[in-house]
C-alpha cells in the first residue's frame, strides 16, 4: 500500500472539449488536514469526485491508499458533497441508523453526541430543517466514520459563524493519525487555523502546494492574504 493517502499521476479530466483537470501530479500524506483552495470552476469539486470514485479520469491515474477508486476504497473514504443528498422524508435519527447499517466504521454514539452539541433534533424530518442544519447533519454523518480519507466539499459554507468553530473542532478531533482530511472551501480565513497544508488550484492544475507554516514563514502572510495575492484579478 502506498504511503500517500491520495495521489494523482498525470491526472486529466475533460467533459467533451472542456478540460477540467490537466496533468495533475500530487501526493498527499497521512495525518494531515489539507485545504483545497481556488476560485469557482477551477476543478476542486471534480478532483474530490474523482477521489470519491464518483467520476473516472479521462487519462492518468488517481490512487487512494495505492488503489484506483473502487468498491474497496469507498469503504474507507468518507465523502461530504457540496449539495444535500439525503431524503427529506428521513429523520436525523433514521439517517444515523442508515449510515450505521451501511458503513462498518460508523460510530452511532459519536453521531448522536455531535447532534446534541450542534442542536440537531434527532426526530426532526430533514425537509423541515434549514439548509445550514442539513449541512451540519451531513458533516456529522461523514465525520462519524473512522475513514482513511475524508473529502469535504464546502463543509461550512451554509452554517452560521457561531457553529463554524465547533464544526472545525469536530473535524480536528474526529480523524485518526493515519487519516487525511481534504477540505474544499472559499472561507479561507475561517478554515486556515485548522490546516496543516494547502493546495492552490487554477484552471485544473496546482499553482502552489505548501505547508501552512512554511508559506507563512516564506511569504510573511496569512494563507488568506496569500490567496488574495495569487488570485488577484
Structural domains in the chain, sorted by start: 6-86+148-230 (3.40.50.300)
195-212: average pLDDT = 95
H helices of the chain, in order, are 44-52, 71-74, 92-102, 108-118, 131-143, 161-173, 188-191, 212-219, 223-230
- For residue range 122-142, list pLDDT tens digits in order: 999 999 998 888 888 998 999
Assess whether pLDDT exceeds 50 at residue 1: no
Predicted pLDDT of residue 173 = 78
Predicted pLDDT of residue 178 = 85
Spatial separation of the C-alpha atoms in residues 164 and 190, rounded to whole Å:
8
The residue written with cell numbers 467520476 in the block is: 55
Pairing of strands 180-184, 32-37: parallel
Q: How confident is the model at residue 233 (pLDDT cuts 50, 70, 90)?
A: low
- For residue range 43-68, list pLDDT tens digits in order: 999 999 999 999 999 999 999 999 99
Predicted pLDDT of residue 106 = 95
* DSSP code at position 145: B
Which of 162-176, 180-194, 203-217 shows the lowest mean pLDDT across its residues? 162-176
Which of 72-76, 167-171, 195-199 shows the lowest mean pLDDT across its residues? 167-171
Amino acid at each position: 500500500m502506498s504511503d500517500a493517502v491520495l495521489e494523482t499521476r498525470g491526472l486529466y479530466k475533460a467533459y467533451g472539449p472542456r478540460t477540467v483537470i490537466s496533468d495533475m501530479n500530487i501526493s498527499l500524506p497521512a495525518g494531515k488536514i489539507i485545504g483545497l483552495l481556488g476560485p469557482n470552476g477551477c476543478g476542486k469539486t471534480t478532483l474530490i469526485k474523482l477521489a470519491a470514485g464518483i467520476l473516472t479520469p479521462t487519462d492518468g491515474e488517481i490512487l487512494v491508499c495505492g488503489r484506483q477508486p473502487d468498491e474497496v476504497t469507498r469503504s474507507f473514504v468518507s465523502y461530504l458533497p457540496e449539495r444535500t443528498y439525503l431524503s427529506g422524508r428521513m429523520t436525523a435519527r433514521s439517517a444515523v441508523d442508515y449510515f450505521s447499517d451501511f458503513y462498518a466504521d460508523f460510530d452511532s454514539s459519536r453521531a448522536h453526541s455531535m447532534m446534541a452539541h450542534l442542536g440537531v433534533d434527532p426526530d426532526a424530518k430533514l425537509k423541515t430543517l434549514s439548509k445550514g442544519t442539513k449541512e451540519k447533519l451531513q458533516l456529522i454523518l461523514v465525520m462519524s466514520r473512522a475513514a482513511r480519507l475524508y473529502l469535504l466539499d464546502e463543509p461550512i459554507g451554509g452554517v452560521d459563524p457561531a457553529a463554524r468553530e465547533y464544526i472545525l473542532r469536530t473535524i480536528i478531533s474526529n480523524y485518526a493519525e493515519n487519516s487525511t482530511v481534504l477540505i474544499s472551501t472559499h472561507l479561507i480565513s475561517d478554515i486556515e487555523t485548522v490546516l496543516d497544508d494547502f493546495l492552490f488550484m487554477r484552471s485544473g492544475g496546482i499553482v502552489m502546494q505548501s505547508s501552512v507554516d512554511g508559506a507563512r514563514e516564506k511569504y510573511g502572510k496569512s494563507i488568506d492574504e496569500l490567496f488574495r495575492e495569487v488570485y488577484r484579478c
